[in-house]
Chain A
Amino acid sequence: MKDLDKGFQADENHEPKENARRDFLKKSSLLTAVALTPGVAVKAAENHLDEKVAAAFEKMPVNITVNGKAHKLSIEPRVTLLDLLREQLHLTGTKKGCDYGQCGACTVHVDGQRVNSCLTLAMTVDGKKVTTIEGLAKGDELHPMQEAFIKHDGFQCGYCTPGQIMSAVACIREGHADSETEIREYMSGNICRCGAYPNIVNAIQEVKNGGQQV
């Protein structure tokens, strides 16, 4: 219990104290996850040499670095990266929109490449580095793309915003932000039902033209 409490202290710094409901859900789901892990099964799989095997009900070991922090986890093979991030690591910045790869709200970077975390089995990210929206800012200093989205009003309801920002950063890194047309084409995997597209394009163009390190 002590370790669990410690693990949540960091989160509490970012959230108002009265936000007890999410905190309760986080703690209870983590306790359930810990209780259900069959230690023997995990050990057996770890010892296997050239392939990882899991029976249908077993959990498997997986090592994933998220926002620079290494995690040794044990998961069911059917858990998606999106659910792992939100339900087990409590990184709820990455959003579940359609859950079918059609909206882009779940966009994260895996080894520097943007992907839809809802269609990525967490097992397939074993040994890889994941960056989520929580990993963009340096402490209290926002990432230039986050600043630009605020400045240009690149959102209304904000639900698609984490995915939009992760995609926007990748769009510049890939070299696909040279014109408005190109930005629109290479941001087409992120849907915004509020229709903030013109402001999103403006935000991306400002960061791109500003020549800041993204």
Chain B
Amino acid sequence: MKQFQYIRPATQQSVLDAITKPGTKILAGGSNLIDLMKRGVTSPDKLVDIQKLPLRGISQNKGNVMTVSVGALELNSAVAENKIIKESFPLLSMALNAGASPQLRNMATVGGNMMQRTRCTYFYDTAMPCNKREPNSGCGAMEGINRMHAIFGTSEKCIAVHPSDMCVALAALDASVEVKSKKGTRYIPFTEFHRLPGETPQLDNTLATGELITRVIIPHNNFAKNSYYLKVRDRSSYAFALISVAVGLDIRGGNINEARLAMGGVAHKPWRLKAAEQFLKGKPATVANFEEAASLAMQGAKSFGHNDFKLKMAPASIIEALSNAAKLS
């Protein structure tokens, strides 16, 4: 690991002052950043450890719209086990528990989970070309071993996927992200936080230099009874998703009043299935309708050889996740 400066500011203002400089990275749980630094994928000059900031806590806010606020430094394990989260958003709890290992969930924070980089092996291997790690060096995955790679929203430059489970659930739950900088506070819809690779795959998200994630806000919904997170992977635990599906259904008298669907392991960002959601709205919760929704969701999918299997596995996973959420299976 290359040498770096380490600071641990006690105030948010000191952090905001420190992170405006290029070459500076924020350190929260470190479960991904330290890994990347050890491998030489990233080599910051300076680490700003933000663990002293008071960005923990999960609270309910009763305003015009009931929301739950989750501090950016709250641990993944603490969020997954939290009573409010388990009761109001079991989907988030399920997704968090499907990710990483108990040890890593005890280290990883909510903000850090959002900022984790892709696990594309070409991104990690510094001997290989990668447009994300080294802009305009080429893409090793496009014609390489791309079994884990994207089928939606890819570009000529990058076919990597975002590895998070938590983010797939938060995208489905219409969460928003509070970020602060020296200019003030702004809110980013969760589905617009991560971005597609386009011409600039080095940018994973829409966070600007100098901005700090402070909390995630989740609006109340009626999906708690009919939620499901399905994760398909190479071993039954502690592996990244080949395909994952987050489902939230509001079912009234057998009919779907509202549906939320997002997928992981298929794109550079959590992939919301808006067309399928629209189709399901107002329809009976039946396998036939779920099949139709899955087929709509797959429009525009494109595979790259080793990941051709995802074109079949993805719709099958959508149907299974919907059936589980609706308690049909």
Contacts and interface: CB of A to CB of B under 8 A. Distances in A.
Interface of A: 50-57, 60, 76-78, 80, 99-101, 104, 107, 113-116, 119-121, 123-124, 126, 167, 170-171, 174, 176, 184-186, 188-190
Contact of A50 (B9, B35, B37): B9
Nearest to A170: B102
B10 A53 contact: no
B4 interface: yes
B4 A115 contact: no
A140 B17 CA distance: 52
A101 B5 contact: no
Contact of A188 (B4, B45, B238): B238
Interface string B1-16: 1111111111100100
A74 to B, nearest CB: 13
User: At the interface, is chain A mostly helix, strand, loop or mixed?
Assistant: loop
Given A99-B38, A113-B106, A114-B103, A51 B238 contact: no
A190 B2 CA distance: 28
B47 A77 contact: yes
B207 interface: no
Given A104-B101, A123-B49, 6 more contacts: A101-B104, A116-B104, A119-B104, A124-B49, A174-B102, A189-B102
Contacts of A78: 1-4, 37
15 contacts: A54-B7, A55-B5, A60-B6, A78-B1, A78-B2, A101-B35, A114-B106, A119-B31, A121-B30, A121-B49, A123-B49, A170-B102, A188-B101, A189-B101, A189-B104
Contacts of A123: 6, 8, 49
Q: Which 6 A-B pairs have the closest CB atoms?
A: A189-B101, A77-B6, A188-B237, A188-B238, A56-B3, A50-B10
Given A114-B106, A121-B30, A57 B38 contact: no
Given A78-B4, A123-B49, A51 B10 contact: yes
A116 B31 contact: yes
B99 to A, nearest CB: 11
B102 A167 contact: yes
A186 B101 CA distance: 7
B296 interface: no
